[in-house]
Amino acid sequence: MLVRLKNLFSKKFIKDAMVLQVGSVFSSSIFFLGSVALARFLGVELYGQYALIFTFISLVNLFTNWGEQGVALTIAPEAYAKGDINKFQEVIKYFFFITTISTLIVNVGVFFFAPRLTEILYHNPQIGNFARVVLLMSILQIIYLFFTVILQIVRNVKYLSVLDAINKFLHVGISVLLVFLGYGLWGVVYGKLIVAIIFLIFSVVAYKILFKNNSLMPSIKELLFGINYKIIKKFFRFGIAISLDKNIGSLFGILPLMLLGYYGSIEQVSYYKVAYGYISLPMILLGPVSRLLSVQLPQSKAYGLNVLRRDFWRSTLFSGFINMSLVLIFLIPAKFLVETFYGADFMGSVPAIYFLSIVVILSGFNIGLGSIMKTIRKMKYSIVINVSTIVVQLLTFWIMIQYLHFSALISVIASLVFLTIFNMIFMFGLLIRNVGLSKKSDF
C-alpha cells in the first residue's frame, strides 16, 4: 500500500496537481474572505446587484468563447510533447487571434447596449453601467489569459500557481479596499480594471523573458501578424464544437442567477450567491485537477487508449470522493459560519446550502468529463446532453413557479438538483456505452 502511494505521488501529474493545490488553497481562502468582506460592506441588496453584474458578464462571455482555448489545450500539449513546432505554433497563433477578435467584437458591441440589456434581464439598467467597466477589463485581460494558457500547456505549474494566486489576491484586495473607502459597486468594478491594466503590462514582459530562448514559442510579432486563413480554417470547426459544449455547460452554471434576477427578489439572489459560494468551496480545490486534465488527457492519449482510460477513471473517482468528504464536513458548521462571517441578514441562505450540497457532491465526479470528450473528439454527445439538460431545467422551473406556486429560490434549487442528477446519469451512460471507457484498465 505504501509503495503504491509512493509511486502515485511520484507521478508528474500528481506533483503538478499538488503544486497547483497549494496556490488554489491560498486563492480560495482569499476569494472566500473577499466575498465575506463584500457581503458585509455592501449588504444584502448591493451584494445581490454585485452577483447580477458578474452573471451578466458571464452571459456575455458565452458569445466571446469560440472554442479557441479548448483547441489550444487539446492539441498544443501533444504537439509540444512531440516537438512539432509547426503544429504547435499554428495552434498558438490561432488561439491568440480568435481570442482577440471574439473579445473585441462582442465586448465592444455589448458595451453600447449594456444598460438596455440588463433592464430586460433584471429590470435594472444601472447594472449595465457597472458591467461596462468589466467589459473593458475583459479586453485588457486578453494577453494575461494567453500567457496563463501557455504556462498551462508547457506545464510550468509553479509559475502558473503563483501568478494565479497573486492575480486573485489583487482582484479581491483592491476591490474590497475601494468598497471599504466608500465607492460601493463602482469600487468593485474599477478595482478589477486596475488589476487588469497591471497584469497586461506584466504578461507582455514576462512572455518575452520566459520564452525568448524557446524555439517553439512564436514571438509577439508573429502572434499579431502570423495568422492566415488556412490556419483558421484548420481549427475553427473543432473550436466551434468545443465552444458549443462549454457554453452550454456555462449557461447551466449561470442560469439559476439569471432566473432569480428576472423572477425573484434581489434578496433571493444574495441568498443563492452566499449559499452556493459557501458549499462549493471544496469544488474550488478541484480546479487545478480540472485544469491539468485538459492537458494531461491529450498527452495520455498519445500513449494509447488504455493509459487514457486509466488516467480518466483515476482522476474521476479520486476527485469525486475527496470532494464528497469535504462537502459533508462543510455542512456541519454551515449555520454557525454563515451567521458568524456573513451576518444575521444572510441567514436565509442556510436552507439553500443543504440542498445545493447534493449538486456540489455530484459535480465532483464530473471533473474530467469535458476534457475526455474533447480528447476523444466526441463533443456531439456532450452537446446533446447539455442542451437537453438546459431545456428540461427550464421546463422544470416553469412548472414549479407557475403551477406549483413555489418561490423563485425554491424552484431554482429544486430544478438544479434534479437536472444535475439527470445530466450525470446520461453523460456517464453515453460515455461508457459509446466510447468504451468501461473496459478494464490498469488502475
Which grid cell sits at 295? 492537458
Q: Which of 8-17, 106-115, 406-415 has the lowest mean pLDDT?
A: 8-17
Q: Residue range 120-142: average pLDDT? A: 96
| Cβ contacts of 112 within 8 Å, gap of 6 or more | none
pLDDT (tens digit, 9 = 90+) per residue, 327-376? Answer: 899 999 999 999 999 999 999 999 999 999 998 888 877 766 666 666 66
**Which grid cell sits at 172?**
479581491
Separation between Cα atoms, residue 275 and residue 257, nearest integer Å: 12
pLDDT in the model for residue 342: 92
**Residue 39: closest CA among 196, 258, 272:** 272
pLDDT category at 246 given cuts 50, 70, 90 is: confident
pLDDT band of 265, cuts 50, 70, 90: very high
Mean pLDDT of 110-126: 96
Cα(294)–Cα(369) distance, rounded to whole angstroms?
Answer: 10
Domain ranges across the chain: 11-435
**Residue 178: which H helix or E strand, with range?**
helix 157-178
The answer to whether residues 299 and 43 touch, using CB atoms and an 8 Å cutoff, is no
Predicted local distance difference test score (pLDDT) of residue 293? 59
Cα angle 348, 57, 114 (rounded to 5 degrees) comes to 110
pLDDT exceeds cutoff 70 at 279: yes
Judged against a pLDDT cut of 70, whether residue 434 lies above it is answered with no
The whole-number pLDDT of residue 15 equals 58
Q: Which residue has the higher pLDDT, 441 or 347?
A: 347
Q: Output the nine-digit C-alpha cell for 48.
A: 445581490
For 309, phi and psi rounded to 5 degrees? Answer: -60, -50
What is the band of 2 on the pLDDT scale with cuts at 50, 70, 90?
very low
pLDDT tens, 290-341?
555 555 665 566 556 666 667 677 777 777 787 788 889 999 999 999 999 9
Q: 406 — phi, psi (to 5°)? A: -75, 160
Q: What's the pTM value of the predicted model, to 2 decimals?
A: 0.81
H runs (alpha helix) in 280-376: 281-285, 287-301, 305-331, 334-337, 350-363, 369-375
Query: For 332, phi and psi rounded to 5 degrees?
Result: -60, -50
Task: Supply the pLDDT for residue 385.
Answer: 73
Q: Which residue has the higher pLDDT, 392 or 435?
A: 392
**Residue-wise over 354-392: b if at least 16 C-beta within 10 A, else e?**
eebbbbbbbbbbbbbbbbbbbbbebbebbbebbeebbee
Residues of the chain with pLDDT > 70, as a percent, come to 80
Confirm if 147 and 206 have CB atoms less than 8 A apart. yes
**What is the structure's pLDDT at 26?**
74
Binned at pLDDT 50, 70 and 90, residue 73 comes out as confident
Spatial neighbors of 409 by CB under 8 A, at least 6 apart, are 260, 264, 268, 271, 272, 352
Higher pLDDT, 386 or 321: 321
Virtual CA dihedral for 195, 199, 201, 203, nearest 10 degrees? -170
CA angle 406, 50, 45 (to 5 degrees): 60
Looking at this protein, which amino acid is placed at residue 80? Answer: Y
